[in-house]
Amino acid sequence: MNNALKGILILFAITFLWGTSFPVIKIVVYDQSPFIYTGFRALFSSTVLVPILIFDFAKNGLDKNSIKAGILTGIMYSLGIFFQGWGTQYTSASNSAFLTSTSVIIVIVIETLLKKKFSKEVAMAGLGAVIGVYLLTDTSGDLTTGDLLVLVSALFWSLQILFISYLKFDNYNQFVSVMLLFPLVFLLSLLRKDYSASLALSSVIWLAYLGIVVGVLSSYGQVVGQRKVSASISAIIYQMEPLFAYILSYLFLGESYSLKKGLGAIIIFMSCLYASYYKVKKENQV
């Protein structure tokens, strides 16, 4: 098996894992607060990341730039997880997946505005996303509370992507570990005297899956996979995430779309795919 094929298979695998996270999140936040969900997800990530971090410190010393970048990016990552989990309590896992995917377009719009090089391609992708989001709304055309919260999370996911691209860091282990561990701050909610929380065994298992498999394993798999294939192929594969989420949500949660919402999902998918192609094309021209 050549390197390119290995890379494609790895990226498909982690994209599938990302897709599985949406129905799992829906299950977990059904009877848990977004604070508990966010904090305990990071707690399970820590079982893998803390040993990695300690070993890296011992071998390479402290990289201040990587730690600082990890904290700043971790803030965006934490808020993305928190608002996504909170929003998924009040909307379907499928809606959450497609609305989260709009972060791709938000990134491109923000970069375009910062560089003051707006284009018709960006406008078309943005308009498509707006139309798709509208069609995903309820019958009255209003966004539900859950939809709005997930869109807020998409903004934070987009900022996380931008921080990863533009912040300076040299030590990947330290950067990723600090970023994925930062959501532990949400466990401070347990210090409230009036706060009580209990976790069922099923919730513990799912949170461990989200923290270790979807969080840690996918992050490292993404790096390995992207080193073996082009950015354009990676961008196409990543757009499969909401489709995987929809299929799994249909199979395991019984979620389905009306014709109107299905059309909205397709438009969002095509807009994100178009935006990804445009971004890669522009980068290759530089």
Average pLDDT, the chain: 88
Question: Is the pLDDT assigned to residue 284 strictly greater than 70?
Answer: no
- Label residue 193 by pLDDT band (50, 70, 90): low
* Gap between the Cα atoms of 129 and 22, Å rounded: 20
Amino acid, single-letter form, for residue 66: S
Q: Structure tokens of 202?
A: 């099923």
Higher pLDDT, 224 or 232: 224
pTM of the model: 0.88
Maximum average pLDDT range among 1-5, 150-154, 222-226: 150-154
> What average pLDDT does range 229-252 have in this prediction?
85
**What tens digit of pLDDT does each residue of 84-142 get?**
999 999 999 999 999 999 988 888 888 888 877 777 888 888 889 889 888 887 655 55
- Label residue 80 by pLDDT band (50, 70, 90): very high
> What average pLDDT does range 32-42 have in this prediction?
92
Q: Given this model, what pLDDT does residue 97 score?
A: 94
Question: Is the pLDDT assigned to residue 285 strictly greater than 60?
Answer: yes
Chain position carrying tokens 């009580």: 196
Q: Given this model, what pLDDT does residue 50 score?
A: 95
Residue 177: other Cβ atoms inside 10 A: 28
Query: Quick one: DSSP state of residue 80?
Result: H
* Gap between the Cα atoms of 274 and 37, Å rounded: 33
